[in-house]
Amino acid sequence: MVAALALALGLLSGVASASEPTPPRPQLRSCDLGMPRPFRCGHIMVPALRGDPSLGKTKVAFAIRSHRDTSKPSLGTIVAMDGGPGYAATAKPYAASLIAALGPVLRRRDLVLYDMRGTGRSDPIDCPALQAGLIQESIAIGECANQLGPNYAGYTSAEGAEDLNLLRRALGLRKIFFYGDSYGTFFGQAYAVRHPDSLRGLILDSAYPGNDPYYRTLLPAGLEGLRIACGDAPTCSGDPVARLTRVVDAFHRSRRSTEPLISFLLEAGTLAPRSYLSLDEGDRRFLPSLLSFSAAK
């Protein structure tokens, strides 16, 4: 998985590319992403590592769909990117959900799905041990970097931001709307810092804070999400955060790991509907058994 590798390398490392020439306009071909309306796909070639031209080039791919109302001119282009990092924007599940979410916005706006380097159609990284979780992640990341060789240093948000700017220029686009989901919101901030004049708008869906590489806001946000979900549900009453705290304390006293519990809380906002309520339901079911749970340890 490129996710852990990219994070380990430092997502905001600097890249010098002010004088980088614009690639030739990419050739487009019809491609089937499983959508009712066809896309046209293409790619450009970009430096594998801008600080070392000897490492050659890598492919950055995309899929584009014109606005629906062809009787009127386009009102602009939305470039969209999925999260992870590691997920492909050109994958059907993401493309379908994005198109459904944007709905009427796409009537007068073109859509470009951008696969960041190493993902989807953009020369995807293949590190089996890391992708399948076969060994400890910290070890698997190192093995993946060894497999990639010197090119491993090119899998950063900074390089990806320069790739996107090259793609924008190659497509002849002046200013774009950027739509980022999850890690794509972090990437969007990295892009906006480097190329603010190329943006008409920045849309961040399920945003990560760009100023905190340790994501320390996730826990308070998760607790607040738990409170909101309980307050909005007629079947939930009382203080769900207090219930969760009691469960966590019980795990600590019994020397049991709370990692799966806390991880679920931090990710519940991106999981299936009712995930917060499912977590609280588990807490409520567990609390009556606290005495026997503690005695067993």
DSSP state of 254: T
Residue type, 147: Q
* pLDDT number for residue 134: 80
* pLDDT number for residue 12: 43
pLDDT digits (tens, 9 = 90+) for 128-161: 888 887 888 788 889 999 999 999 999 999 999 9
**Cross-strand pairs, 60:** 44
The predicted model gives 89-102 an average pLDDT of 93
Measure the CA–CA gap between 162 and 252, rounded to whole angstroms: 46
* pLDDT number for residue 18: 54
The predicted model gives 26-30 an average pLDDT of 95
Q: Give the burial class of 93: count Cβ atoms within 10 A of its Cβ; 0-12 exposed, 13-18 middle, 19 or more buried.
A: exposed
DSSP 40-63: EEEEEEEES-TT-GGG-EEEEEEE
pLDDT digits (tens, 9 = 90+) for 266-282: 888 777 778 999 999 99
The predicted model gives 219-224 an average pLDDT of 92
Kindly indicate the confidence band of residue 231, based on its pLDDT and cuts at 50, 70 and 90: very high
pLDDT digits (tens, 9 = 90+) for 141-150: 899 999 999 9
User: Domain residue spans in the chain?
Assistant: 2-205, 218-296
* pLDDT number for residue 290: 72
Measure the CA–CA gap between 125 and 122, rounded to whole angstroms: 9
| Out of 157-161, 202-206, 208-212, 226-230, least confident range | 208-212
Measure the CA–CA gap between 42 and 170, rounded to whole angstroms: 11
Kindly indicate the confidence band of residue 293, based on its pLDDT and cuts at 50, 70 and 90: low
Q: 114, 41, 44, 112: which is closest to 74 by C-alpha?
A: 112
* pLDDT number for residue 162: 97
Please say if the pLDDT value at position 9 is more than 60: no
8 Å CB contact between 50 and 100: no
pTM here? 0.73
Measure the CA–CA gap between 161 and 178, rounded to whole angstroms: 11
Please say if the pLDDT value at position 5 is more than 60: no
Measure the CA–CA gap between 143 and 148, rounded to whole angstroms: 9
Q: What is the CATH number of domain 2-205?
A: 3.40.50
Please say if the pLDDT value at position 126 is more than 80: yes
Structure tokens at 214: 């340790």
Structure tokens at 261: 């519990």
The predicted model gives 215-224 an average pLDDT of 87
* pLDDT number for residue 277: 95
Structure tokens at 221: 């946000």
Kindly indicate the confidence band of residue 1, based on its pLDDT and cuts at 50, 70 and 90: very low
* pLDDT number for residue 67: 95
